[in-house]
Each structure stands twice: as C-alpha cells, then as structure tokens.
Amino acid sequence: MDLRQIRYFVAACEEGSLSAAAARLNCTPSGVSQQMSALEARLGTGLLERTRRGVDPTAAGWRFYDRCLAVLKSVSEAEMELEDFAGGLSGSVSAGFAPGLAKAVLPTALARYTREYPRVDIEIGSGTADALVAETSGGALDFYVGQFAKPQAGLSATPIGRFPVALISGVRRGFGPMQPVSLHQVAPLKLSVPSSTHSLRPRIEEAVRNGEISVERTITIASLSAGLEFVAQTDWSSILPFWIALKELGNERVTVNPIADPQLSVELALIHLVQRPLSRASRHLYEQFLQELRHCEEEWQRITR
C-alpha cells in the first residue's frame, strides 16, 4: 500500500465515482480502478461497492476512509513542519471567499498580508459559493470562507460566527438612511433574493411564509454586483450581510437600513480538506482576514447603536 492508493481511495469515497475521482486527481478512470482493485486484493476485503451511479464505500470502506484521512493529514502536517523548520514564511496560498466578503472585507486584509509576507505567492479564487466549495473539495483551493449550507465528505467546516444582515434599497423606495425597519410593518417589498444555494435564502423564504416580511414581488440574481446595480437603479430591495451594507453606505443611489425585525442572520465557516490542514501561510492569511472581519463588525455595531 502506498500514499497514491490512499489518495485515490479517499477521492473515490468523496466523489462517489471513479471517473470523478480520476478527474479530480488528473489521471485516468482505468488507473484509479486498477489501484482500487489492487488495494482491495492487498487488504483482502471489499472497500467499494460498484453501482450504476458510481461507487459507494462498504462498512469496511468507511472505516478505512477515516484511517486514510488521518494518514494524509499526518503527512501534510509533517510537510508543513519541515517547511517551518526551513525558516521564514514563504510558499503559496490559494483561497476562496464568498463574493460579498471578497468585495467588502478581503482587500484590506490582503493589502496588509502582502506587505508583511512578500515571499508568499497568493491566488484568490472567484465564482459562486458552490463553485468555490467544489474547488476546495477538489484541492484547487487551500481553504474557503463563506456560507456553507450542507456538510460534505472530506471537508472540515469550522464555524466562524453568526452575523447580522441589512436591507439595501434603491433610493426610489423612500427609506430614510440607517433607520431600523421592521419588515412586516413596511409596505410590501419588491425583493431581490439570493440564489437557491445561498444559506440566507431559506431563512428569507421562511420569514415571508410566516408573514414576517411583506413581499410584493421577487427576483433572483445570482451575481452580487449585478444584483446591487439592479437595486441601485430601481425601487427594489435586497437583504444582504452587514459587510456589504457597510461598503454601500457611501453609495448615494441606495439606502441602507438595519433590520429590527425579523431576526435574520448569516453564518460563516472556514472550509478546508480534512486531509490537508492549513499551512502557516494559509493560517496567517485567514487570521488577517478574520481580524478585518471583526473590525468591520465593530464598526457596524458602532453605527447601529
């Protein structure tokens, strides 16, 4: 048994398909299949059950999967310890952030990070939250920070916190800037809602069903920048995390209002592969980001008191 077989097996378990595992590992499905057969022959037990849809780990397979994750995590930690021993913070970091965080919070943290760690190469992914989670699962990103709707095999999700949201409306809607609003007491909203994969979407829909938000009409726009521009040009509104609201306070085409009722919030999590803990360079970037997020939160609390 070697590390290659372990990595192939873990990928097959997490992807549920030998062909998907092969695509993730940049090899051929036949190569993965041969390695899995050799691994099962060596261990003398079936690890994967072949089905029409792909593969499902057996009971023994799931137990072996947990052990394999521990092995890969130990190998990754040993490699990072050797890098640290070599001295100095260098290397590379690839990370993804939910679009709103990338727009409103990340730039300040990134500017500070690049000044403090000039020997670290950085790649910041872009795309929808689902796409960034998929890239993290496939190993293209070291970590992702954002909303995380459902658990996924092989991924570690560490909660960061629960944060307030705000109402952002085109000035034509007529709200007074920064005046707290109870959404069941205002005239029905034309509401731009997040896409179905956004963790805030079901909470908004539940509040609408319960009569806590009065809605005249809705529209779904997946792109954050397009959605904000649409709101700015109309009398529509959107419910978005406070960090986006904070960024839009200087925009004369929209009004920002804290939401007094209902109590809505968005949860953030740090996502990375279980088998690949954060490197020193990644940890420092995450910590810089977290520091800026807390600073933004303190500023929001100050102006909404």
Hey, where are the domains in the chain?
A: 3-84, 88-160+267-303, 162-262
Q: 118-168, pLDDT tens digit by residue?
A: 989 999 998 888 889 889 988 999 999 998 667 788 899 999 999 999 999
Q: What is this structure's pTM?
A: 0.74
Look at residue 291 and tell me whether its pLDDT is greater than 60: yes
The answer to whether 240 and 233 are in contact (CB under 8 A) is: no
> What is the average pLDDT across 34-54?
90
Distance CA 177, CA 168 (A): 10
> What is the average pLDDT across 68-81?
82
Topology match between the domains 3-84 and 88-160+267-303: no
> How many of the other CB atoms lie within 10 Å of CB of 52?
4
Residue 97: its pLDDT value, please? 96
> How many of the other CB atoms lie within 10 Å of CB of 175?
19
Residue 88: its pLDDT value, please? 60
Look at residue 192 and tell me whether its pLDDT is greater than 60: yes
- Quick one: tokens of 206? 């539940």
The answer to whether 18 and 12 are in contact (CB under 8 A) is: yes
- Quick one: tokens of 303? 């102006």
Distance CA 232, CA 246 (A): 15
Look at residue 20 and tell me whether its pLDDT is greater than 70: yes
> What is the average pLDDT across 228-239?
97
Distance CA 57, CA 48 (A): 4
Look at residue 286 and tell me whether its pLDDT is greater than 90: yes
Residue 87: its pLDDT value, please? 53
Burial 59-72 (b: 16+ CB within 10 A, else e): eebeebbeebbeeb
Tell me which of 3.40.190.10, 3.40.50.2300, 3.30.1490.20, 3.40.50.11540 is the CATH number of domain 88-160+267-303.
Answer: 3.40.190.10
Of all residues in the chain, the percent with pLDDT exceeding 90 is 68
What class does CATH assign to 3-84?
A: mainly alpha
Residue 1: its pLDDT value, please? 74
Look at residue 80 and tell me whether its pLDDT is greater than 80: no
Residue 160: its pLDDT value, please? 95
Do strands 254-261 and 155-170 pair parallel, antiparallel, or not at all (unpaired)?
antiparallel
What class does CATH assign to 162-262?
A: alpha beta
Residue 79: its pLDDT value, please? 77
Of all residues in the chain, the percent with pLDDT exceeding 70 is 96
Residue 253: its pLDDT value, please? 97
Poorest-pLDDT segment among 37-51, 72-86, 167-181, 250-264: 72-86
Q: Which of 153, 96, 152, 151 is nearest to 128 (CA)?
A: 96
Look at residue 266 and tell me whether its pLDDT is greater than 70: yes
- Quick one: tokens of 182? 């109870």
- Quick one: tokens of 297? 């939160």
Q: Quickly count helices (H) and strands (E) in the chain.
A: 11, 12
Residue 294: its pLDDT value, please? 96
Type of residue found at 274 = V
Look at residue 279 and tell me whether its pLDDT is greater than 70: yes
Distance CA 217, CA 234 (A): 13
The answer to whether 128 and 270 are in contact (CB under 8 A) is: no
Mean pLDDT, the chain, rounded, equals 91
Residue 216: its pLDDT value, please? 95
Residue 81: its pLDDT value, please? 65
Residue 195: its pLDDT value, please? 80
> What is the average pLDDT across 59-73?
90
